[in-house]
């Protein structure tokens, strides 16, 4: 059956797919060229290439949505069902979509970009580069627009906020230039509607709320269309081969369906945020029912109130409103069919997801999509402003979120080495599970390791090849222990220096394990020798961070005051340490903050031999202030208590060291395969 199915696919695709003549430049290639132009000082090239990348990114998404919806309409499923008719429609839709997309974009394979690039576009990183480029080109109006667009998704970016204030005072920059180029139409209309509602303009608010609903349902269709591609279901490999055709189809369909089901969360989440706006879709109907009441359109008010109760059945105050409207009108009324259909589909999807996830052998938990009555005025349950929609749904019920159980934490154990000096403990650093130590390295060791770094580190190593992963104003270079040992074996650096890197990382591990009184072995999770260098000519009036505030094993959500221990965070990391090699640079202080990512609780000025160690969770948000001059070098270490997550390269390095110690390595080849991660 499987062979027959595959043969049918290949034959039908060969017949139905026309050759593609169109070609759209891939946005990841344009993005990479734009970044390269930025560091080459070609700011005109930055604007041309980055605007091209943004246009290509938008066109790819538009084309996929348009083609998938068009082919879906062109090849509907028949009313009478059979296996052959079902797969006939599936194959024809696939051929239709491939041909449609290929006609517009060219060969689809060239538009399959890495998840890192997609994340950069989702975080609006291109607009940061554009803002700086337009600034250099003396085009403040376009710089203001790019800065405003970036800031909407990155409100914690101090430098961008200050840039926006400066743009307001520049000649030629007007209010109309501060526009969000990536604004989501449904959220934009909703926000504007709330403002009119608060000002008492109920007629204007009604029009915009209705627009927001229309845009929401349109965006929902587009969001779901974009789900019809390869998916990643946490804990399950979607490419895993299943012998049964129906299991194979079930697995992929379940993953696509999960993506579609999560569009509820996506459409309610503002750019750059982790948590959705509380009670987002139902609040449209809540605002509308009272706005219609205010303009004496009670039939519409009743309809919207009944629609709200579809989401929150039996909610007391809305039920009272419904009773009032029915009494005045003398009829019962009906909720809006669009919302009723939307909820019926949502519940059917949930039923199918539970079946499909069980077949896949993974756990699925329904999210809390509509927090009960959030953002309402208790006096009459009528929305009173933006308080509700600005709040966030707790995502503690989100799938696969695990909140670590409180554990007893200790510190103050022996420092293992006589030379090591305790500078500050947790109390002095205004937190928990924190320590600052000096003299972990000698001046000679620091000098040798810095010399080693200048030879072995490569731009972008440890950051998936990205030379400036956190800020365009600095260059990052790194190297792993295994790569350094490889250089030593090849004679490119003294083996003594490579061995020193290995040894001092073990020294740091032993100190952290001992000081925090851990009763089980602390394993290496990742070890990285990293230098960050201020880029000359880009440091004027700079107030951004070298490394944004974050936690090491969870996703920091400052506005919700939470840290969610879930992928893509490195949830297995338990302790972290930074061992500094120098202090002869400007800026670059290491900082701890509160969970709001703004309130600094402690600041550490790096210097040779100084080490800061801490637990890796949400209790220790941290970052690095901008390096505005010189080069800052350190050994960054992450540890785990779970041996399953031991660093593979470290185990290989252990074997190399053991072989060196027994002299059995001479005359043999080292099988070293450095891994670029972090």
- Would you name the residues annotated as active-site residues? 632
Structure tokens at 11: 């034959």
Answer left, alpha or beta for residue 400, where phi above 0 means left and psi between -120 and 50 means alpha.
left
8-state DSSP, 576:
E
| Closest by CA position to 53, among listed 65, 45, 42 | 45
Q: For the chain, give percent helix, strand, coil, nearest 5.
A: 50, 10, 40
Contacts 24+ apart (CB under 8 A), 1-8: 1/245, 2/243, 2/245, 5/87, 5/245, 8/87, 8/91
Helices (H) and strands (E) in the chain, counts: 21, 16
Distance CA 315, CA 331 (A): 20
Helices (H), 438-477: 443-456
Distance CA 113, CA 660 (A): 41
| Closest by CA position to 593, among listed 632, 563, 570 | 563
First CA to last CA distance, the chain: 43
Helices (H), 179-244: 185-199, 202-225
Distance CA 619, CA 407 (A): 13
Distance CA 373, CA 312 (A): 8
Helix (H, G, I), strand (E, B) or coil at 191: helix
CB 622 within 8 Å of CB 590: yes
Residue identified by tokens 């190399």 is: 656
For residue 122, how many other CB atoms are within 10 A of its CB? 14
CB 556 within 8 Å of CB 549: yes
Q: How far is CA 145 from the centre of its chain?
A: 23
Contacts 24+ apart (CB under 8 A), 464-469: 464/114, 464/116, 464/676, 464/677, 464/678, 465/676, 466/116, 467/35, 467/39, 468/35, 468/39
Cβ burial, residue 230 (10 Å; 0-12/13-18/19+): exposed
Q: How many residues are there in the chain? A: 678
Distance CA 92, CA 12 (A): 8
């Amino acid at each position: 059956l499987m062979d027959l199915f595959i043969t049918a696919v290949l034959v039908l695709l060969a017949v139905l797919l026309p050759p593609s003549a169109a070609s759209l430049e891939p946005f990841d290639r344009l993005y990479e060229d734009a970044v390269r132009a930025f560091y080459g000082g070609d700011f005109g090239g930055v604007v041309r290439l980055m605007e091209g990348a943004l246009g290509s990114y938008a066109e790819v998404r538009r084309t996929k949505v348009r083609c998938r919806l068009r082919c879906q309409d062109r090849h509907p499923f028949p009313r009478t069902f059979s296996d052959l008719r079902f797969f006939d429609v599936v194959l024809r839709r696939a051929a239709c979509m491939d041909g449609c997309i290929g006609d517009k974009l060219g060969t689809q394979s060239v538009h399959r970009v890495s998840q890192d690039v997609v994340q950069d576009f989702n975080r609006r990183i291109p607009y940061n580069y554009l803002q700086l480029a337009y600034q250099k080109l003396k085009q403040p109006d376009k710089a203001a627009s790019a800065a405003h667009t970036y800031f909407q998704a990155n409100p914690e970016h101090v430098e961008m906020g200050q840039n926006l204030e400066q743009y307001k005072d520049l000649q030629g920059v007007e209010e109309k230039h501060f526009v969000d180029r990536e604004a989501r139409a449904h959220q934009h209309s909703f926000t504007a509607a709330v403002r009119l509602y608060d000002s008492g303009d109920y007629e204007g608010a009604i029009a915009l709320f209705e627009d927001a609903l229309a845009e929401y349902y349109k965006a929902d269709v587009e969001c779901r269309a974009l789900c019809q591609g390869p998916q990643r279901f946490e804990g399950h490999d979607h490419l895993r081969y299943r012998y049964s055709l129906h299991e194979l189809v079930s697995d992929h369909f379940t993953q696509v369906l999960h993506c579609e089901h999560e569009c509820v969360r996506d459409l309610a989440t503002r750019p750059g945020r982790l948590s959705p706006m509380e009670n987002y879709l139902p609040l449209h109907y809540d605002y509308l029912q009272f706005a219609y009441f205010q303009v004496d359109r009670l039939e519409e008010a009743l309809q919207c109130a009944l629609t709200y109760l579809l989401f929150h059945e039996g909610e007391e105050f809305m039920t009272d409103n419904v009773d009032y409207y029915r009494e005045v009108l003398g009829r019962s009324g009906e909720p809006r069919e669009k919302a009723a259909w939307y909820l019926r589909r949502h519940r059917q999807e949930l039923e199918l997801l539970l079946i499909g996830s069980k077949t896949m052998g993974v756990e699925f938990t329904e999210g809390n999509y509509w927090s009960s009555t959030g953002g309402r005025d208790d006096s009459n349950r009528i929305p009173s402003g933006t308080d509700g929609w600005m709040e966030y749904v707790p995502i503690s019920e989100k799938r696969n979120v695990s909140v670590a159980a409180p554990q007893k934490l200790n510190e103050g154990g022996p420092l293992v080495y006589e030379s090591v000096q305790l500078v500050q403990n947790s109390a002095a650093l205004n937190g928990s599970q924190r320590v600052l130590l000096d003299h972990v390295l000698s001046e000679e060791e620091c000098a040798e390791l810095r010399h080693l770094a200048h030879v072995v580190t490569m731009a972008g190593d440890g950051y998936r090849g990205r030379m400036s992963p956190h800020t365009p104003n600095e260059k990052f270079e790194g190297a792993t222990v295994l790569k350094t040992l490889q250089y030593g074996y090849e004679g490119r650096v003294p083996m003594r220096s490579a061995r020193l890197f290995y040894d001092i990382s073990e020294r740091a591990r032993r100190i952290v394990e001992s000081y925090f009184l851990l009763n089980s072995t602390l394993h290496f999770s990742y070890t990285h020798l990293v230098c960050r260098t201020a880029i000359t000519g880009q440091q004027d009036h700079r107030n951004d961070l070298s490394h944004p505030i974050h936690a090491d094993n969870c996703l920091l959500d400052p506005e919700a005051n939470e840290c969610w221990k879930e992928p893509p965070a490195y949830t297995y990391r338990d302790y972290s340490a930074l061992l500094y090699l120098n202090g002869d640079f400007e800026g670059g202080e290491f900082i701890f903050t509160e969970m709001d990512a703004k309130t600094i609780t402690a600041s550490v000025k790096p210097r040779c031999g100084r080490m800061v160690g801490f637990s890796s969770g949400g209790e220790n948000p941290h970052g690095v202030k901008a390096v505005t001059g010189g080069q800052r070098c350190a050994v960054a270490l992450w540890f785990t208590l779970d041996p399953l997550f031991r660093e593979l390269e470290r185990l290989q390095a252990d074997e190399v060291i053991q072989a060196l110690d027994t002299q059995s390595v001479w005359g043999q080849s080292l099988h070293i395969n450095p891994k670029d991660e972090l």
